[in-house]
Amino acid sequence: MNVCVVGGLGYVGLVTSAGLAELGHTVAAVDVDQDRLARVGAGELPFHEPGLAELLARHLPAGRLRFTGSIADGLRDVRIVLVAVATPARPDGETDLAQVIAAAEALAAELVRPAIVAIKSTVPLGTHHVVRRVLDSHGRVEGRDYHLAAVPEFLREGHAVYDFLHPTRIVIGAADPAVRAEVRELFRGLDAPVLETSFEQALLIKYASNAFLAMRISFANELAGLCDATGVDVFGVIEGMGYDARIGHSYLAPGIGFGGPCLEKDLRSLIRIAEGAGYEPGLLRAVLEKNEHQVRQVARRALDELGGDLYARTVGVLGLAFKPGTSDVRNSLALRILDWLQRRGAAVRAHDPLANGEARQVLQGVTVCDDPYEAARGSHLVMLLNACEEFRRLDLARLRSIVAEPRIVDGVNVLDPGAARRAGFTYHGVGRR
């Protein structure tokens, strides 16, 4: 099929474009970001994602994938348009639909043949009404010039290419069964259940999935707090829980909480959706409050370790991306903690194996180092805020030899407490003994 992906150089858009090309489709990825277009044109990926470079190298020369800054160019001979633009959260928790509206306006102006407009961006309930009003206001007629559908994404950063090609489920929301059948053809060859639903049910599946994952993380952190208070090691408790098939082990890792571009944003958006429907989402609010509390708890542990005074103390921070395996620092809880430390007078040296470049663009007053040992050199406290494999393999004896004072706050439980203490460190994890 001929497919157009609007927002094709964003995280979801680029992975989706490359993945569809891998499935044999011919894809035009449209984006207004001229800098990203230039970078990709020069062979540079705009972000780190395992497997993505290989897909681009395979399908760009073959002509199955191309990039353009022109929506008119991208729509040539296209039947299905996927909208994968960013939908950031506003300060009040509402979802900012400006880019979705802009995409709809561009499509309304340039559609020259009937097309299915499928929303892949994570958007709140009722968004299809907004898109419909935009298209209709430009003289387009639903059912004649366009059809609307929702195709939510379930991609994990650091595993997005794998997740696209090995999905756990494919959700297609549309009122017309014939439209759902056409969209289903996009994903032929993928071994996954296909759920055909209404537009709004498809959106709610996405929001509910992320809210549930957030709830598991907050529960794990609540449990870790209880274990700290009672002298029990949380890892043993979680291991025992996880063998129950109804519970499982995934997303039960205590740490600094959930950050990044999705879980917190989607949870806040779901809370606003509930409020708008006249429902009080008490549990969802508690999940969010626990997450905010967890960030404060880990940050305050640094203050406690240094006797209540961070002024002119050096803190070596290992981990800047919101999770391991990605270069993404958007809404990284590690960066929130760095800001908290700096505002109390600490000098911060930091390192991340993938995110140093992005971090340097947004951090001020932080010495970003290319090596974890250089980040820790001369520090009065080492904080681990990301569970990268590089940090699991730290040479603790070497680390002990270069720090000013041997203290570790492990906010993601990446180190073995016994090994850290044998190396001469005081060690504090999250619910660890």
Q: What confidence tens digit (pLDDT) does each residue in 237-278 have?
A: 999 999 999 999 999 999 999 999 999 999 999 999 999 999
Q: Which residues pair with 430 in a beta bridge?
A: none
Q: Are 165 and 141 in contact (CB under 8 A)?
A: no
Other CB atoms closer than 10 Å to residue 63's CB: what's the count?
Answer: 9
List domains and CATH numbers for the chain: 2-197 (3.40.50.720), 207-288 (1.10.1040.10), 295-428 (3.40.50.720)
State the average pLDDT over residues 151-173: 97
pLDDT in tens, 295-333: 999 999 999 999 999 999 999 999 999 999 999 999 999
Say yes or no to pLDDT of 42 above 90.
no
Q: 91 pLDDT band (50/70/90 cuts)?
A: confident
State the average pLDDT over residues 118-123: 98
Other CB atoms closer than 10 Å to residue 114's CB: what's the count?
Answer: 13
pLDDT in tens, 226-242: 999 999 999 999 999 99
Q: Are 157 and 328 in contact (CB under 8 A)?
A: yes
Say yes or no to pLDDT of 93 above 90.
no
- The percent of residues in the chain predicted with pLDDT above 70, rounded, is 100
Residue among 208, 213, 303, 286 at smallest CA distance from 251: 213
Q: Which residues pair with 265 in a beta bridge?
A: none
Query: Where are the alpha helices (H) located in 81-198, listed in sequence order?
Result: 98-110, 127-137, 160-165, 177-186
The CA–CA distances, whole Å, from 409 to 100, 221, 343, 398, 412 equal 42, 15, 19, 17, 9
Q: Are 261 and 330 in contact (CB under 8 A)?
A: yes
State the average pLDDT over residues 335-345: 97
pLDDT in tens, 46-68: 999 999 999 999 999 999 999 99
Would you give the DSSP letter of residue 314?
Answer: E
Q: Are 356 and 320 in contact (CB under 8 A)?
A: yes
Tell me the DSSP string of 23-66: TT-EEEEE-S-HHHHHHHHTT--SS--TTHHHHHHHHTTTTSEE
| pLDDT, the chain, mean | 96
| CA-atom Rg of the chain in angstroms | 23
Residue 231: in which H helix or E strand, if any?
none
- The residues annotated as belonging to the active site are 262
- Res 179: pLDDT: 97
Contacts of 59 (CB under 8 A, 6+ apart): 18, 21, 22, 27, 65
